[in-house]
Amino acid sequence: IGLVKNINQFDPWRRWHLFDWLISNFVNYFFNDLTIDFIQTGIFKIRIPGLVWIYHKNSKAINSMDYFGLNYYSHNHLKMKLSLKEPFTLQYPNTDILTDMPYTIYGEGIYRAIQSISVLNIPIMITENGIADASDDRRELYIKRYLYAVSQAIKEGFDIRGYFYWSLMDNFEWAFGYDMKFGLFAVDYKTQRRDLREGAKAFIAIVNNEK
């Protein structure tokens, strides 16, 4: 029995800017740390003066799981805005490689995510990790970078029990419909034909431990 959670780091766009740090720290706490803290302590709390004040305690949450399911894709850079309706914007460095979603290829982020949830001292199962890449020109790079980061984490002693690539075949991706091509196998929705993508062969080689 375990919980599956998407982890996504939020980093300051301007590392010298105090407000970018403040908004990044807050969003990280809200998106990631609230869940991790609740599993550790049994306490769930959100306190934003004038907006929300939630405090919930349930000691049964502590040590309640056999594993933690990690979904990980990328991180975001946040830039603070003086607006209550839109307090920040997402920024993408020109040097980063974007996927189709869009988010950036950020292999070291899955290592950071593994490191952050390791405080729970339970086995980790990577339940989702993959790339939307219709042109199939970034899939190999993505797979190699992310699995290299996972392998480094394993070598350093993190208890990772498994890895599931998202996904085996192209899928219905919520609001994006069938536009996002995550599959190791491309699907022709008219004929239902499935074809292995060239970029997916890197995953096969890693699984088979080929040089």
173-193 tens-digit pLDDT: 999 999 999 999 999 999 999
Q: 161, 125 in Cβ contact below 8 A?
A: yes
pLDDT category, 211, cuts 50, 70, 90?
Answer: low
pLDDT tens digits, 77-130: 999 998 878 999 999 999 999 999 989 999 999 999 999 999 999 999 999 999
Q: Which residues of 19-38 are buried (b: 16+ CB within 10 A; e: fewer)?
A: bbbebbeebbeebbeebbeb
Residue keyed to tokens 């920040």: 88
How much is the pTM?
Answer: 0.94
pLDDT category, 46, cuts 50, 70, 90?
Answer: confident
Residues 6 or more apart from 180 whose CB is under 8 A from it?
Answer: 100, 101, 132, 134, 171, 173
Q: How many CA atoms lie within 13 A of 7 on its CB side?
A: 26
Q: 100, 138 in Cβ contact below 8 A?
A: no
Q: 92, 98 in Cβ contact below 8 A?
A: yes
How much is the average pLDDT of 125-136?
Answer: 98
Report pLDDT for 82. Answer: 87
> d(Cα 34, Cα 13) in Å, to the nearest integer?
23
> d(Cα 146, Cα 163) in Å, to the nearest integer?
11
Q: 91, 15 in Cβ contact below 8 A?
A: no
Report pLDDT for 84. Answer: 79
Residue keyed to tokens 């056999």: 66
Nearest of 79, 71, 73, 70 to residue 27 by alpha carbon: 79
